[in-house]
Structure 1
Amino acid sequence: MSTDLDQRLAAMLQHRAGGDVDPTPIVAYARRRGRRLRLRRRSLIAGGAAAACAVLAAVVMVVPTGRAPDAAPLTPAALALPDAPGQPGAVARPEVVGSDPGVVHFATPVLVGDAEAATWTAGRGVESVEFRGRTGQARFALARSAATLDGLQQTLSSAGRPQQRTDVRVEGRPGVAWFDPSGDRQLWFVRWQPTDGLWAQLDIYAAGRDEATGAASRVRFDGAHRCVVPFRLRSLPAGARLLECSVTLGRSARDPFLEGSLVVGDGSGRWLTVRAQPAPGDGSRAGDLAAGPYRARRQGDDVLEMRVEPCVVEAFLAGWGRGYTEADGLAVLGGYQPARDLDRPTSW
């Protein structure tokens, strides 16, 4: 019995008959297909799809732009956030960096040019993007103090043997660079001040210091972009506000939205995370808990899960949260409002 993948492979090869076969769209589709199968297997084992579609709270939404044929890769712009008209870049207003979870005050169009996925995060004092692709993986982070950067968890693997720091300059600004061996690669760290009162760091696998600092020089600080997710949170606990936004976008033309989350909390140190991601075709078990117009269920002791097509949505009360009760989580999920178009971030 032929499958959708068989038909697509046959169509691609027939189209390329008589010439060189470009494996890129075939590989891209196979990866997306594998991700869907993994999600389906996970949902069957756990008794329901586990993931979540949560990003910006009561004030932000995100959705990728129109669908293209599934085999056609998107341009690098597919991994970029929508513009934030009227918002300043980091160099113009360093004091606003990390203070607004709805805005990222930098851009990395060249660095993410051949990436397959990029995760953008803003809020709680930091703005960052982490991306991965055929040529490797990297993370860029921006904060108003070096101590904030020191507090970030390292996300790229290394041998754990950082070498001595050396002075460098990035676009004429002073900084330092060091590396940590990682098998046959070197994980380089470049830290510099794009302007007074602002600290930036690029973690990247590179052949040497010059390549790493050259990559750092490609970050732009002259514009701002909206951190968006394809949903809103209409019901927050008393005194709570949006603390952080995170969204992962992929290069796929068919399903560019991979995951989004929003962190909400208050001044007393309480916070919880709502996460959303596209769900497999056959869904979770019906829940026995009321969450506004939805039905939710417990996923362990500290996670609430519900399905709101086409996503699985989770509220994390511990681990990715602290201090809020199950009743608070259900109230927040009850105010979940999905975007109409999951494929068009500019409309979120």
Structure 2
Amino acid sequence: MTDLDQRIASVLRERAEGEIDTRRLLRVSRAQGRRRQLRRRAATGTALTLAGILGLVGVTGTDFTGLPGRLPWIATTPTVAPPVPPRADGVPGAAQRPDLVGGDPRVLHLGLDTSRARYLGWNIYGWTQTESIRFSVGGGQPVVVEVSRSAQRLNDAAIDGPGSQRITVPPLAFDGGVQPLGTTGGLAKGWQPVPGVYARVTMLVGDRAALERAVDVLRWDEARRCEAPLRLTTLPKDATLTDCDVDVSAVPNGLRAQYTIGRGESAAMYVRLMYGAQIAGSRSDGNRTVDGRPAYLSPDGATLELLDIPKAHLVAAFGWLWPGIDPAKGYVSFTEADATTVLAGAQVPKDLSDPETWD
């Protein structure tokens, strides 16, 4: 769990019996957000979550607009069909087209044998052109597989350990060898599943047998949509989807999906869906409409939220520039009109707690 997650969780625990101090949450998240995004986009640091997740309890009428990080949900034993990213029809997997790996933020070019493994999350980072899946095998400890067409990008990427600890993975030769993760008791393996594609599997706890079982459930002959359950069907002019990051480890009780939209070298918009069965209420004082639906523009004019999704928050944070950009140099960021375009085309399943309705 990152430092941002710990701060948010601390606020939630302090206010578990009452209303959340959303201004404090926003101050914390915005102060940390740009630094975290810079780390995530740096070629030397794609963070992948392997740590356990904290629970959200007693939240009523919570406003999470503007949060750039990951909200911690409590992972529970699923009572519905396990979540699976829908197939990307007509798209070949890494085995057939290794040159496509990491090239499309909407598509994962690998999958899992779901008879033996459960998806916990998946993401694609356009900056590093890296795809990853977090999963468990037989109810065991979480495992992360990362794939890229560059061995160096994988070797440069650290992983998240317990708390806010950052763990550097020893450089791998990608020859199938297994190496320990320092003193954590974890293991890492690197190999080439197909020529031109490099893969790294890491786990914080487990032995070589568990690691090999995890490798064995990977499927390289299929492609799946990263955009699930939330799908963005319309983007502003001259904008592109750059990142896709989904956490389904707490389904059916909660989930998070966050996508990053970029424009040129300066503008960034973060579109985030958060669902929680424990969210008892939501904002009702809309001051905008999006395609006839009630919406709320934050007082600082930087976030726009749709208000008619039960037990969920769908927010577009649009007043951002990429880290290191000087706004005084005339760079143009996204606008409320751009956020309205994105939210108007956002598709959300009727039942976020049931993965069978996501496709």
Same fold (TM over 0.5): yes
Aligned partner (choices 137, 141, 162) of residue 142 of structure 2? 137
Letter in 2 for 1:73: T
Q: Does 1:91 align with 2:101?
A: no
Distance 1:269 1:320, change over 3 A: closer
Distance 1:299 1:259, change over 3 A: farther
CA deviations 1:187-214 (Å, max 9, x no partner) are 2221211122111111103444454345
In the TM superposition, 1:231-250 aligns within 5 A as 231-250=230-249
SS of residue in 1 equivalent to 2:196:
coil
Mapped to 2, the partners of 1:130 and 1:181 lie a distance apart of 22
Aligned partner (choices 253, 256, 261) of residue 259 of structure 1? 256
- Cα displacement (A) at 1:258: 1.2
- Cα displacement (A) at 1:146: 1.6
Contact residue 83 and residue 225 of structure 1 kept, 8 A: yes
Q: Which residue of 1 aligns with 2:333?
A: 324
- Cα displacement (A) at 1:238: 1.3
Q: Which residue of 1 aligns with 2:307?
A: 307
Q: Which residue of 2 aligns with 1:37?
A: 57
Q: Which residue of 1 aligns with 2:124?
A: 122
SS of residue in 1 equivalent to 2:96:
coil
SS of residue in 1 equivalent to 2:218:
coil
CA deviations 1:35-76 (Å, max 9, x no partner) are 5634x25x45xxx35589xxxxxxxxxxxxxxxxx997345x
Contact residue 112 and residue 118 of structure 1 kept, 8 A: no
Contact residue 51 and residue 276 of structure 1 kept, 8 A: no
The unaligned stretches of length 5 or more in structure 2 are 1-53, 68-75, 324-331
- Cα displacement (A) at 1:228: 3.2
Mapped to 2, the partners of 1:227 and 1:164 lie a distance apart of 28
Q: Which has the larger radius of gyration?
A: 1
Mapped to 1, the partners of 2:210 and 2:282 lie a distance apart of 46
- Cα displacement (A) at 1:276: 0.6
Q: Which residue of 2 aligns with 1:28?
A: none
Distance 1:299 1:96, change over 3 A: farther
SS of residue in 1 equivalent to 2:204:
strand
Contact residue 100 and residue 123 of structure 1 kept, 8 A: no
Letter in 1 for 2:225: R
Q: Which residue of 2 aligns with 1:15?
A: none
Letter in 1 for 2:257: G
- Cα displacement (A) at 1:121: 1.5
CA deviations 1:294-329 (Å, max 9, x no partner) are 322327674443423122111233679676334233
Distance 1:336 1:320, change over 3 A: farther
In the TM superposition, 1:96-175 aligns within 5 A as 96-109=100-113, 113=117, 118-124=120-126, 125-131=129-135, 135-157=140-162, 174-175=176-177
Letter in 2 for 1:336: A
Task: Give aligned pairs, total.
Answer: 281
Mapped to 2, the partners of 1:162 and 1:176 lie a distance apart of 15
Distance 1:331 1:103, change over 3 A: closer
SS of residue in 1 equivalent to 2:153:
helix
Q: Which residue of 1 aligns with 2:225?
A: 226
Mapped to 2, the partners of 1:302 and 1:231 lie a distance apart of 21
Letter in 1 for 2:236: P
Mapped to 2, the partners of 1:231 and 1:168 lie a distance apart of 34
Distance 1:97 1:164, change over 3 A: closer
Deviates more, 1:239-248 or 1:189-198: 239-248
Mapped to 1, the partners of 2:321 and 2:266 lie a distance apart of 13
Mapped to 1, the partners of 2:157 and 2:101 lie a distance apart of 16
Contact residue 106 and residue 225 of structure 2 kept, 8 A: yes
Mapped to 2, the partners of 1:99 and 1:147 lie a distance apart of 16
Contact residue 142 and residue 200 of structure 1 kept, 8 A: yes
Contact residue 162 and residue 178 of structure 1 kept, 8 A: no
Mapped to 2, the partners of 1:202 and 1:276 lie a distance apart of 28
Contact residue 51 and residue 277 of structure 1 kept, 8 A: no
Contact residue 190 and residue 213 of structure 1 kept, 8 A: no
- Cα displacement (A) at 1:145: 0.5
Contact residue 107 and residue 224 of structure 2 kept, 8 A: yes
SS of residue in 1 equivalent to 2:227:
coil
The unaligned stretches of length 5 or more in structure 1 are 1-33, 53-69
Contact residue 168 and residue 177 of structure 1 kept, 8 A: no
Q: Which residue of 1 aligns with 2:296?
A: 296
Contact residue 85 and residue 228 of structure 2 kept, 8 A: no
Q: Does 1:193 align with 2:192?
A: yes
Distance 1:299 1:249, change over 3 A: farther
RMSD of Structure 2 on Structure 1 (CA): 3.8
CA deviations 1:6-43 (Å, max 9, x no partner) are xxxxxxxxxxxxxxxxxxxxxxxxxxxx95634x25x4
Letter in 2 for 1:149: L
- Cα displacement (A) at 1:101: 2.4
Q: Which residue of 1 aligns with 2:285?
A: 286
Distance 1:80 1:142, change over 3 A: same
TM-score of the two chains, using structure 1 as the length reference: 0.65
Q: Does 1:271 align with 2:268?
A: yes
Aligned partner (choices 304, 328, 339) of residue 349 of structure 2? 339
Distance 1:165 1:123, change over 3 A: closer
